[in-house]
Amino acid sequence: MIAYYAQRGEATPSPATGAYCKARQRLPEKLFSHLVTHTGSALEAIATPGELWCALRVRIVDGTGISMPDTPANQQAYPQPSSQASGCGFPVLRLVVLFSLITGALLAHAIGPLADSEMALFRKLLAELRRGELALGDRYYGNFWVLALLQPRGVEALLRVAASRHTDFRRGRRLGKNDHLIVWKKPKQCPDYMSEAEYTAAPAELLLREVRGQLTVPGFRSRPVVLVTTLLDPQCYPRQALLELYGRRWQCELRLRDLKIALKMDVLRTQTPGMVRKELLAHLLAYNLIRRLMWDAGVRAKCPPLRLSFKGATQHIRAFAPLLAAAKPALRQGLYTLLLQTIGRELVPERPGRIDPRLKKRRPKSYGWLQKPRAVYHRLIRLGRKLK
């Protein structure tokens, strides 16, 4: 802001950040949440029916963890993992999100401490799923209860079957090779996140379709998967089409990477739970706004918007932002058009089946791990003791 006012030849504000921090605290959290949902829905509304998958809007669901500063208030609201010693870990919150497969927009979110399971947070997002949509998820969601919650809402599902469930394709009604209809019975035990009344109201059984196939990555051994779906018609929804759609679920991991790495949301910086949530929501809002610019740039460049580089778009927006803010109205539209053209040139090449190991080449500094609270180490240093 100092640079902005200086460029305009006006009096510059004080460099002290106290007034800014107080103003930021007064911003209502509900405003951020509303803007995240609004921008995601506005971007999704742009998609044409021809871009849908089999006339269905696909919603990818997944969860992740976010770290934050180790303050007493943050620890109380979002306690660190129980496996970490007191004073040696960081508070962590759990985030569950719904992404659009077509636009990449973040449509809904739920936040809670690690003690809240992904399933409990996912239930908070059920109201955001509507008839004519399809929920796409990994094997964590491939259980009876998710399907039982989605079915009354008219929401279709395609999920990877949980590892704990045994699948026998010799049973049920055969629809084709590695494709059959099967009845899932309601588990006898009520889950922790569900009340007895909800358990009783759940259907006793569900008629579902299971398919089995291979997810092939060039240069690697094929990976067998078993999927469960509420799409029972093999003519409208062929087995291979279901397998290919599940292969696109990986886009959710890429979207989370954009948020946590490109936008640096992996480790938050604010000191109190309320500000932590606002900071998190500000990242989600920025993500949707960048996605909207990428969509406009892709349309202008006549290329798929999801093929554009999110990191490249972020870098260009940061470079153009001060120029757009300081430019006169007559020049601003030209700069904005140039920004879209520049983003539209950042096309990521087609790399089907690309895979990278989760390994680092650059070695970290050879410091040990903090295994005791810092106050203990401070005391040892003052006593001249050797740190271990």
* pLDDT tens digits, one per residue of 242-267: 999 998 998 899 999 999 999 999 99
- Read off the pLDDT of each residue in 162-180 and give the average, rounded to a whole number: 92
In the block, residue with structure tokens 């010799």? 170
What's residue 84's pLDDT? 87
Catalogue all structural domains in the chain, each as residue range(s) with its CATH number: 49-268 (3.90.350), 285-348 (no CATH)
What's residue 388's pLDDT? 67
* pLDDT tens digits, one per residue of 282-318: 999 999 999 999 999 999 999 999 999 999 999 999 9
Percent of the chain with pLDDT over 90: 69
Both structure tokens of 110? 């739920």
Band of the pLDDT at 328, cuts 50, 70, 90?
confident
The single-letter DSSP state of residue 71 is -
Q: Where are the beta strands (DSSP E) in the chain?
A: 57-67, 92-100, 106-113, 133-137, 156-160, 173-176, 179-185, 205-215, 223-229
Q: 58: closest CA among 129, 125, 133?
A: 133
Q: Considering the chain, what is the average pLDDT of its residues?
A: 91
* pLDDT tens digits, one per residue of 113-134: 999 999 999 999 999 999 989 9
In the block, residue with structure tokens 């045994």? 166
The single-letter DSSP state of residue 47 is S
* pLDDT tens digits, one per residue of 150-160: 999 999 999 99
Residue 9's SS3 state is coil
What's residue 41's pLDDT? 95
What's residue 287's pLDDT? 97
The Cα–Cα gap between 257 and 99 comes to: 13
What's residue 175's pLDDT? 94
- Read off the pLDDT of each residue in 175-192 and give the average, rounded to a whole number: 93
The Cα–Cα gap between 163 and 206 comes to: 19
Q: What b-and-e string marks burial along 177-196, b requiring 16 or more CB atoms within 10 Å of the CB?
A: ebbbebebebeeeeeeebee
> In the predicted model, is pLDDT for residue 22 greater than 70?
yes
Q: Taking the model in full, what pTM does it have?
A: 0.90
The Cα–Cα gap between 66 and 56 comes to: 31
Three-class DSSP labels, 122-141: HHHCHHHCCCCEEEEECHHH
Strand partners, 60: 99, 136
- Read off the pLDDT of each residue in 152-174 and give the average, rounded to a whole number: 92
* pLDDT tens digits, one per residue of 209-223: 999 998 775 555 567
